[in-house]
């Protein structure tokens, strides 16, 4: 109940005024049945504007820290994220990652829409970063379609590093469902999973018009000046993902 109250009465109308969302390709989201919505990630507001424009409820896998705050504020935030359709996951080690995939598979098994950010974290500079293979494994294990979603302009409405909201123009662009049934039985093969997630990232690159960077966003956040022992020039336009990598 609270999910729909926030969407249509308590929060949604304000977000609609602030972002004036433009939607394209919404017909690609199935009216029922499970699917993974694979989105780029520019700002916290991605997790608000995507549910705002989709008629069905979306469940997101969210980092556990959102639910572990202390005091009254922490309890209120944990309650809010819960009713907003977010499920806490631990991202600290391999066992935690497997538990997160099991949670995702359970959600999809219930016929729901699962929202995922294949980059694993918000983009540090507005570019599109290398995708993690967890989404690919989940898609291969469950056989559900993957729908690429490009969020555009959410980082203007909600600039990274700030808590305030501003007026802007948000676009939500849905791509055609991606079917990976040709890889049936190959979940767990790291080469196949990399090919699958690269194909998803290629679609996101085309939808979002972002420059692609072939490193993980989290790696760059941990060490902004060096990746794999080499200096990183964050001002230089990144190369686009080769079409061949998309399989």
User: Residue 119 in contact with residue 41, Cβ under 8 Å?
Assistant: yes
Pairing of strands 226-227, 212-213: unpaired
Report yes or no: 144 and 34 within 8 Å, Cβ to Cβ.
Answer: yes
Give the model's pLDDT for residue 242.
Answer: 45
Percent of the chain with pLDDT over 70: 87
pTM equals 0.85
pLDDT digits (tens, 9 = 90+) for 25-41: 999 999 999 999 999 99
Q: Does the structure show a pLDDT above 70 at 240?
A: no
At 52, give phi and psi (nearest 5°). Answer: -60, -35
Element (H, E) at 15: helix 12-19
pLDDT category of residue 72 using cuts at 50, 70 and 90: confident
DSSP letter at 244 equals G
CA distance 164 to 159: 8
- The alpha carbon of residue 48 and the mean position of all alpha carbons in its chain are separated, in whole angstroms, by 12
Which residues, 6+ apart, have CB-to-CB distance to 205 below 8 Å?
128, 212, 240, 241
pLDDT at position 136: 97
pLDDT of residue 172: 98
Neighbours of 153 (CB within 10 A): 20
C-alpha 10: how far from chain center: 24
Judged against a pLDDT cut of 70, whether residue 231 lies above it is answered with no
- pLDDT bin (cut points 50, 70, 90) of residue 239 is very low
pLDDT value of residue 229: 43
Q: What pLDDT, on a 0 to 100 scale, did the predictor assign at position 2?
A: 81
Mean pLDDT for the stretch of residues 201-205: 98
43-57, 140-154, 198-212, 227-241: the lowest-pLDDT one: 227-241
Comparing CA positions, the residue from 38, 58, 174, 148 lying closest to residue 110 is 58
Residue 207: phi, psi to the nearest 5? -70, -40
pLDDT of residue 141: 96
């Amino acid at each position: 109940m609270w999910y729909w109250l926030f969407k249509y009465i308590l929060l949604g109308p304000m977000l609609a005024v602030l972002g004036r969302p433009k939607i394209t390709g919404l017909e690609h989201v199935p009216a029922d049945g499970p699917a993974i919505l694979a989105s780029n990630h520019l700002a916290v507001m991605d997790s608000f504007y995507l549910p705002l424009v989709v008629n069905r409820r979306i469940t997101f896998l969210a980092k556990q820290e959102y639910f572990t705050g202390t005091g009254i504020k922490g309890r209120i935030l944990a309650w809010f994220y819960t009713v907003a359709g977010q499920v806490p996951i631990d991202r600290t080690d391999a066992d935690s990652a497997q538990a997160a995939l099991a949670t995702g598979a359970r959600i999809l098994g219930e016929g729901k829409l699962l929202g995922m950010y294949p980059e694993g974290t918000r983009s540090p500079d507005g570019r599109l970063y290398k995708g993690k293979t967890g989404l690919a494994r989940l898609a291969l294990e469950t056989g559900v379609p993957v729908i690429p979603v490009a969020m555009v302009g959410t980082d203007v409405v909600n600039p990274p590093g700030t808590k305030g909201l501003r007026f802007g123009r948000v676009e939500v662009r849905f791509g055609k469902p991606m079917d990976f049934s040709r890889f049936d039985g190959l979940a767990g093969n790291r080469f196949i999973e990399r090919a699958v997630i690269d194909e998803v990232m290629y679609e996101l690159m085309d939808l979002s018009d972002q420059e692609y960077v072939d490193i993980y966003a989290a790696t760059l956040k941990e060490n902004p000046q060096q990746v794999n022992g080499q200096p990183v020039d964050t001002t230089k336009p990144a190369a686009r993902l080769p079409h061949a990598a998309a399989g």
